[in-house]
Amino acid sequence: MSIREIEKEIAYTIEPRDEGRLVKAIARDRMGLSHKQFSSAKFREGGVTLDGARALASDRVRSGQRLVVRLREEGFSHPALPGEVDVVWADEDIFIVNKPAPLPTQSSERQTGDTLEARMASLLEGRAFRPVNRLDKGTSGLMVVARHAQAQAVLQAQLHTPLFARGYLALVEGAPEPREGVVDAPIAKADGPTVRREVRADGKISRTRYRTLRSAGGLSLLRLDLETGRTHQIRVHMAHIGCPVAGDFLYGAERADLPGRFALHSAFLTLRQPATGEILSFEAPLPEELSRLLP
């Protein structure tokens, strides 16, 4: 893989409410930069400027001034592999993609070959692959991929807040009782060398809201919303109430009509655009291989 140097310019016009604050405070609070990002920029020539002149972290700003931070990062040009990427939205800061299943999100030494990361190599223009939220191989649906480190940092700060809301559709075995409610059950990693999670008293607080949309043929279609974001949260909680996600090999049973995946889909996503602050909302319909299971 070849290494390219990527530069991203982040600018902010000082507002009256910021009069007299330090440059480093504006970079953190208003521009969403991490301590590491700002520190790296401030030591480079032209890395941090105020109205075009070099700025120190301790300089105080005035209303109307323009603070510019130039971020530089090394990006890997991952080998591109043929494969469609369903891009729902793209701008200078983010991609919203609709990931199919079963498709791994990221490449690694253990996960080679076809991945979302490999498919997106050309779209990322040499930048590192920076997913904001991740989906399991067997889960389909909406994901956010940041084009640069600053956008990723801002969006990850939104995770598990009302600014970054994720909703899922799932087909589960049976029908939950009551048909609508909240699963409030702590989740911990199971003992031993496993990826499996379990409900356990010493686990982390975990809350999943669910609503039954339809039931037929021994399955129910649920709308699920996360109040927390634990690994495998929906899958663990549905199994915990006796309604495992259909096809879930880890917490339920595999299905021959869902090869390599289970019936969980990231269908709804709302976030605040990291640069403009605009509220963006997206929907991805249930894939055909899931919708056909419910008569």
Determine the topology of domain 2-73 in CATH. 3.10.290
Cα–Cα distance, 164 to 211 (Å, whole number): 20
Question: For the whole model, what pTM was predicted?
Answer: 0.76
DSSP characters for 161-186? Answer: STTBEEEEEEEEES--SSSEEEEE--
φ, ψ (nearest 5 deg) of residue 119:
-65, -30
CA-nearest of 32, 60, 55, 53 to 43 is: 55
Residues of the chain within CATH 3.30.2350.10 domain(s) are 75-160, 166-266
The pLDDT, as a whole number, for residue 37 is: 77
Contact of 263 with 276, CB cutoff 8 Å: no
Tens-binned pLDDT, residue by residue, of the chain (295 aa): 333 445 677 888 999 999 999 998 998 888 878 777 788 787 777 889 999 889 899 999 999 999 998 877 655 546 677 788 999 999 999 999 999 999 999 887 677 788 999 898 888 877 788 899 989 999 999 999 999 888 888 898 898 788 999 999 999 999 999 999 999 999 999 998 899 999 999 999 999 999 999 999 999 999 999 988 899 999 999 999 999 999 999 999 999 999 999 999 999 999 999 989 999 999 999 999 999 998 7
The pLDDT, as a whole number, for residue 5 is: 45
Residues of the chain within CATH 3.10.290.10 domain(s) are 2-73
The pLDDT, as a whole number, for residue 2 is: 36
Is-catalytic flag, 51? no
CA angle at 107 for the pair 77 and 136, rounded to the nearest 5°: 135
The pLDDT, as a whole number, for residue 223 is: 98
Determine the topology of domain 166-266 in CATH. Pseudouridine synthase (3.30.2350)
Q: Class for domain 75-160, per CATH? A: alpha beta
Cα–Cα distance, 152 to 75 (Å, whole number): 14
Give the active site residue among 18, 93, 136, 248: 136
CA-nearest of 128, 146, 130 to 5 is: 128
Could you report the per-residue pLDDT of 33-79, keeping only the tens digit for each? 877 778 878 777 788 999 988 989 999 999 999 999 887 765 554 66
